[in-house]
């Protein structure tokens, strides 16, 4: 009997294949980024304020555009991702724009050892990162160990309610998946098409982590939850009816019910 590929093998194969597609896509607009466009959202910059001289590690950094955007603002950055093609592209992009940054190839669960057991002022992660992780408590312990006393986790992520909703629903909200994911995750097809609708999807394994699970995991490892802000807007235009918001994101029109689509969670390691 042929053994099924592990979640890590499936997901890494998808992201290895995805990296060059994303670099070439209009969605990521690498040319615009090289010309000076920031990949960060307005609220992220406002929330974290002046990052000059701060040490920041970006977990699951893909090919590094968010990481390098923080570096452009003065942070000393390290990006961690398990896809070697993505990390190689991130290093090339850093050279192309003349920004100092370090990128390492490692599974996110191995990030502490991968960065040499350093500790950081900011652990940054977000926008479609947690759904690839089966064990949030293990992730929370790793975040704790990466933070220096007084350091902050900044998590900008898709809301778990969003993951339940069928992305292709044109006019009505259709519930596709359960709010509580089985321990083995969902074996699904997806992960590429948000940036390139002409590309074929690949098999992946994903998990939907409820807010209570994420908050509890961080609290159990000793982090202090400072804020949890739910947003009625999205970085993606998931449905055709969505309208551009004034912050560059997308929201439902006034005649439609608002939905929790993303959230910002901030937690700190006590001194």
Tell me if 129 sits within 8 A of 157, measured CB to CB: yes
**Which pLDDT value is given to residue 162?**
87
**Which pLDDT value is given to residue 190?**
55
- Is residue 199 pLDDT above 70, yes or no? no
Q: Give the C-alpha separation, 121 to 128, whole Å.
A: 22
In this prediction, residues 30-46 reach a mean pLDDT of 96
- Is residue 219 pLDDT above 80, yes or no? yes
In this prediction, residues 92-118 reach a mean pLDDT of 98
Selection from 62, 115, 105 nearest residue 86 by Cα? 62
Q: Give the C-alpha separation, 33 to 262, whole Å.
A: 24
In this prediction, residues 204-214 reach a mean pLDDT of 93
**Which pLDDT value is given to residue 4?**
59
Name the burial class of residue 244, with classes exposed (0-12), middle (13-18) and buried (19+) by CB atoms within 10 angstroms of its CB: exposed
| Between 171 and 215, residue with greater pLDDT | 215
Contacts of 240 (CB under 8 A, 6+ apart): 170
Q: Give the C-alpha separation, 167 to 184, whole Å.
A: 22
> In the structure, what pLDDT confidence band is assigned to residue 163 with cuts at 50, 70 and 90?
confident
Looking at 3.40.30.10, 3.40.50.150, 3.40.50.2300, 3.40.50.300, the CATH number of the domain 7-20+41-268 comes to 3.40.50.150
Weakest mean pLDDT among 14-18, 31-35, 74-78, 116-120:
14-18
pTM of the model: 0.92
> In the structure, what pLDDT confidence band is assigned to residue 201 with cuts at 50, 70 and 90?
low
Neighbour tally for 69: CB within 10 Å: 21
pLDDT tens profile 129-143: 999 999 999 999 999
Contacts of 107 (CB under 8 A, 6+ apart): 8, 82
> In the structure, what pLDDT confidence band is assigned to residue 186 with cuts at 50, 70 and 90?
confident
Residue-range domain boundaries for the chain = 7-20+41-268
pLDDT tens profile 77-96: 999 999 999 999 999 999 99
Kindly state the tokens that stand for 47: 């929330």
H/E stretch holding 229: strand 224-231
- Is residue 1 pLDDT above 50, yes or no? no
Selection from 184, 140, 9 nearest residue 82 by Cα? 9
Residues in the chain: 271
**Which pLDDT value is given to residue 89?**
98
Q: Give the C-alpha separation, 146 to 148, whole Å.
A: 7
DSSP label at 70? H
Tell me if 185 sits within 8 A of 193, measured CB to CB: no
Percent of the chain surpassing pLDDT 70: 90
**Which pLDDT value is given to residue 143?**
98
Between the alpha carbon of residue 61 and those of residues 88, 258, 263, the distances in Å are 12, 30, 18
* pLDDT, the chain, mean: 90
DSSP label at 109? G
- Is residue 197 pLDDT above 60, yes or no? no
**Which pLDDT value is given to residue 92?**
98
Tell me if 132 sits within 8 A of 206, measured CB to CB: yes
**Which pLDDT value is given to residue 195?**
61
Q: Tally helices (H) and strands (E) across the chain.
A: 9, 12
> In the structure, what pLDDT confidence band is assigned to residue 128 with cuts at 50, 70 and 90?
very high
Contacts of 48 (CB under 8 A, 6+ apart): 122, 152, 154
């Amino acid at each position: 009997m042929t053994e099924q590929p592990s979640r890590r093998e499936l997901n890494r194969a998808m992201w290895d294949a995805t990296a060059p597609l994303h670099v070439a896509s209009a969605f990521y607009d690498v040319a615009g980024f090289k010309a000076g466009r920031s990949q960060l959202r307005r609220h992220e910059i406002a929330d974290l304020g002046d990052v000059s001289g701060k040490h920041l590690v970006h977990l699951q950094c893909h090919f590094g555009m968010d990481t390098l955007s923080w570096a452009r603002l003065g942070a000393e950055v390290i990006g961690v991702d398990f896809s070697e093609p993505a990390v190689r592209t991130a290093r090339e992009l850093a050279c192309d724009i003349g920004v100092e940054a370090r990128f390492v190839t490692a599974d996110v669960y191995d990030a502490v050892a991968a960065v040499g057991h350093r500790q950081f002022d900011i652990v940054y992660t977000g926008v479609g990162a947690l759904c690839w992780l089966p064990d949030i408590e293990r992730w929370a312990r790793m975040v704790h160990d990466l933070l220096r006393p007084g350091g902050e986790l900044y998590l900008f992520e898709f809301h778990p309610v969003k993951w339940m909703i069928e992305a292709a629903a044109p006019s009505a909200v259709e519930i596709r998946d359960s709010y509580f994911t089985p321990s083995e995750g969902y074996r699904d097809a997806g992960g590429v098409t948000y940036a390139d609708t002409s590309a074929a999807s690949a098999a992946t394994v994903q998990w939907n982590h409820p807010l209570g699970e994420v908050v509890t995991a961080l609290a159990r490892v000793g982090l202090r939850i400072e804020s949890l802000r739910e947003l009625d807007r999205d970085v993606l235009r998931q449905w055709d009816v969505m309208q551009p918001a004034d912050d560059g994101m997308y929201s439902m029109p006034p005649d439609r019910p608002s939905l929790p689509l993303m959230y910002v969670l901030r937690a700190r390691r006590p001194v």
